[in-house]
Chain A
Amino acid sequence: MDAALLPNRFQSWFASRGWSPRVHQLQLIDQLAQGHSTLLIAPTGAGKTLAGFLPSLVELEARGKRKPGQAGNGIHTLYISPLKALAVDIARNLEAPVSEMGLPVRLETRTGDTPSHKRQRQKLNPPDILLTTPEQIALLLSDPASAKLFASLKTVILDELHAMVTSKRGDLLALGLARLRRLSPGLRTVGLSATVAAPDDLRAYLVEQSETETRSLSHLVEVSGGAQPDISILNSEERLPWSGHSSRYAIGDMYRLIKEHNVSLLFVNTRSQAEMVFQELWRINDETLPIALHHGSLDVGQRRKVEAAMASGALRAVVATSSLDMGIDWGDIDLVINIGAPKGASRLAQRIGRANHRMDEPSKAILVPANRFEVLECQAALAASKRGEQDTPPLRKGALDVLAQHILGLACSDPLDAVVTFEEITSSETYRHLDWETFEKVLDFVATGGYALKTYEQYAKLRKGKDGLWRIAHPKIAQQYRLNVGTIVEAPMLKVRLVRSKADGRRTPVGRGGRLLGEIEEYFIEQMSQGDTFLFGGEVLRFEGMRESEAYVSRAKTDNPMIPSYMGGKFPLSTYLAESVRTMLATPSSWPALPDQVRDWLEIQRDKSVLPEKNGLLVETFPRANKHYMVCYPFEGRLAHQTLGMLLTKRLERLGARPMGFVANDYALSVWGLGDLSLLFSSGRISLDQVFEEDILGDDLDAWLAESSLMKRTFRNCAVIAGLIERRHPGQEKTGRQVTVSSDLIYDVLRAHEPDHILLKATWNDAAEGLLDISRLGELLARIRGRITHTALPHVSPLAVPILLEIGKEPVYGEAMDMLLEEAAEELVLEAME
């Protein structure tokens, strides 16, 4: 690649730094100069961000300084990042080359924190480069002046694209891009991404799609991946636990590793794990090494402090959840310890990328499996990493609630022509498959709620004029839209405030609030009684009570909190890793790579029961303590297993097997009950083929979903995003007596009276893809058809031990709600009779 693509000013800047431009940086300049949208895939430390900005900087340099009195040029380049902190960080980093080269470039950020006078000024006098987030793009596009604002836009840079496209924010952004392309024809997009499984998905996302079946792709610049990372699995002398996620057995090993390295980053999967590991490390921290904790529930101020300390090199280790997964540079980390299973090969690769930002040196990582199954999973992830294989999820189909929000936004900016808008929307890869009928339904929903009963015409938010264009009925509608924009619906959170304990025997009411410790999910607190203890912010707290939107806690004197696991294993096992684990189990020749304890475990399983086949399903049944257990091993992740467990219990109940409950983890599922399952299956009275028949995804599923609180939560999110109910804003909490409309009630009414409503469809789509993992469950049922092996055992098998140990730790499902009430009421009767 020819360095002449770089103007002199740039060449001498590179030279003054002792650098030379990298090939991919020049390639990107070349591609954009030819008008090509381009995806850049590069590992961390490859100068990806600078590569993204160089083409714009070169063009802006050529444009020269604006003369006094000359009109502004409008925004030349938009940079969109998934995190506002990242946008701010990048702006800061970019200012150095701009000022050092003396480029006539003004760059500014715009996030939710930008003061309104500055936002106003940005509209009147836009900067050359604006660094912002998908939500801000949506807001800008809803402004009547948006056409003018973006008329001269040349480039859009999308950072961390692989992360953005996996959520509804990616949908919102896809719709925003489609509009931007219409406002500024010839617009080029630059996607910056980590390595992904299907780069073509991202390439398609970046460009306009036409109606033809073949999809258009952007150009691609790929930087092959630096030095091979140095990954190993912790070889602990300690006994490997059968189940659980705590990794407590390896605390000593982790502490030793921290001591041996300069700065370590310890990644965990859940916040409760983070709390536990942090506390345990400090318990043995004889040298009082500076070890910190970072997760999304902690107070923002505290998180910023940790980040600053990390960047300045004041820390030796940070225990973090995925809140630290992305983006910002954390300084020189020389070791990543991944605690628990990585859940996905690509996820692991991205985490490891946090260590060592110089791409030519290998990153060092150590995996710490928390239990025996996780050893297998870590082994599979390690193998995937060696082969450089990826398992990022495929591109999602655009969500309908996001579409509804977007349509309202478009109408706020400009009268809207339905046909033109439909074409614009379906020109994005994400919404390419949207059909006209669904689009009309969504439009109707935005206008009047989309109900078959047409009683709201008089209150319509959008009205179709004589010219056939849709307009908002009132300026207030635009205000409403602005308050509701965005796709992140936070779970209702409570502030956690420290007070003095009631347990001290003082009779005064719970003292006035002390320090704020952070925030915690409302549903977690809901399950607690006064006096319950839990880990939060690295200390054991005692729950004292609730006051308005705050949970009052005191410091507990115990070391052993009753940690109810909040936020269980957040990410389900990836399909790719699941398959590798199944292969490993079915291939004893691969076992020598495993630790002795694990190998013994599998060998005993082979002797006492059978090993699961790669593409089949092993079902074991055995009696235990007056109950009969069935354990099966689908390896499809906990979400799919939970759904399957719910459906299996319903079906077994109908077949007379009297099931009582079930428990699921990432690898296995266990159902137990009163009926002799061994006998029922082996005598053929119940056929396993029938139990696992694919039609289980039909009526049973519908019946269960009707009552499922999971669907109600999903519905609430859809209803907020689609603008059916208003977002709750901080400081505007409902005062107890003002009873607001609960989304659960709306859900019930809607299901009863208009089951085909577009919002119920959106809810179903969300649940099927996310929380229920229906598609994965469907694939499982198809895969195992005719390949189910049943083994009746006298007692529990080695492989079944982990899942049985989860009973009591994980939520058990099965009882109907009314039954709970009944039992509680009967208990009361007993109490009275004693």
Chain B
Amino acid sequence: MAESQDVSLALRIARGDSEAENDFFLCFGEQIKMMVQARLPRKVPPEDREDLVSELQEAVLLSLRKGRFDPSREKPLGAYIAGIAGNIVGQYFRRKRKEKMGETGLRFEDSPAAGNIFADLIDAEREAALRKSLSRLKPRYKEVLLLRIYEQQSIEEIAEKLGLERRRVSERIHYAIQLLLKECTKANFLQY
């Protein structure tokens, strides 16, 4: 079976091919960022987010250089990197907890850019389309998105507030996001 692109690049990195390192981050840099983003709550400051992305990139690179990823024995590369991402984010929160206990103060600044390291990647036209789609959603979908994403309420809290079953709240949130994705697909913002 032919090697997939990610495995092929990983093996080249292990052999000391620096060009492969560049290619690897060109191809998978965004996915690696996404793995950090998905694990961090909204209030983590943007500079910490960026530091964690760099930390993960460095850790992945070191690990691949040392040949620690073995495609014949290990899980797929995506899952391998997700594991490293989980460890790095876990270490970050442990560090923060220690700082807090040492009274150095854990202060999550809720700055306007918080939770938004990808903001610069939003194409203006696509953002305009997203804004339009968001404003056009039916009130019941807007409501759950607001409560879950903006106010960071749990599914249980929302279910109680709206008098709905937990499952119904999840479905409603999923459906709202599906509608948005569908609109953007229709508008041809997805090119692959």
A binds B: no
Interface residues of B (CB under 8 A from A): none
